[in-house]
Structure 1
Amino acid sequence: MNSLIIPMAAHIALTSFLYVLLTIARAPKVWGIYKNPDGTNPWAAVEPRISANLSNQFEWPVFFYAACLLLIHSPSALNAATWLAWIFIAGRVAHSCVQILTTNVRLRGLVFTINFLATLGLWTVAVLTFQSIKTA
């Protein structure tokens, strides 16, 4: 199995987990279950942050997937690409935790930088790999 498949699957798992979390957070409003004794939604404050984070999983990660798909059949670049892919996943998990559990926008921006740089690194590896193939 190609070593880039596992980090890609890990991102799918993270996104799936966020869908489950959002479903639970919306359960009091949608299904009327898991309400506080006074009838309020215990997830009301965090539900919009979960929703926003889930939307984020379909923005910058698109570039991650595109780079991984380009590199998946490039054995010469696979080691560096795999490391960068796992850094991206660690950054995505950290970004999700910060966005959902805090309101610290500055910290969220700093954590996002991990994802941003890892993806730029993947694209750099892809460009260099395919440039060397073209000139060979």
Structure 2
Amino acid sequence: MAAHVALVAFLYVILTVARAPAIWGIGRRNDGSNPWASLEPRISANLSNQFEWPLLFYVACLILLQAQPIPLAVGLAWIFVGGRIFHSLIQVLTRNVRLRGIVFTINFIAVLGLWAIIVAGYWHGPAA
């Protein structure tokens, strides 16, 4: 979860940098235009995405953290975080919607896997 928070914080930083020419005039081109104008909407959209499906990731992690999660759950959590990083890079730096969809599907399945572990009870739940 901390790795995902770091990703979100980084996205806020680059969004601030991308908006700086328009908001503060810092980094404007000689003609007054914003050199980041084409990236700013994609960064903003990606940042919004970090508060949608990841919400279910956080809830699953909090449930699993009530006890010692099995290694499969930890692996799925890392797949999710790695996938979110890759998804962000694709969304911000390319327009490859097909690849972004594939990476999102991997993230989606990783979170569903976490929830399957919870629902099936294959974790070391809290002691009675």
- Alpha-carbon distance between aligned partners in 2 of 1:90 and 1:105, rounded to the nearest angstrom: 18
Aligned residues: 125
Counterpart pick for 1:33 among 20, 23, 26? 26
In the alignment, structure 1 residue 59 sits paired with structure 2 residue 46: no
Q: Match of 2:43?
A: 50
CA contact (8 A) 2:42 2:91 kept: yes
> Percent of counterpart pairs with the same letter?
62
Unaligned stretches of 5+ in structure 1?
1-7
The TM-score normalised by the length of structure 1 is 0.87
CA contact (8 A) 1:26 1:43 kept: yes
Partner SS for 2:70: helix
Q: Residues 44-65 of structure 1: CA distance to partner in whole angstroms, max 9, x if unpaired?
A: 0000000000000000000000
- Alpha-carbon distance between aligned partners in 1 of 2:12 and 2:80, rounded to the nearest angstrom: 20
CA contact (8 A) 1:72 1:78 kept: no
Q: Residues 84-128 of structure 1: CA distance to partner in whole angstroms, max 9, x if unpaired?
A: 000000100000000000011111111111110100010011111
Q: Which runs of 4+ in 1 moved over 2 A?
A: 130-133
Letter paired with 1:128: A
C-alpha root-mean-square deviation of aligned residues, in Å? 1.6
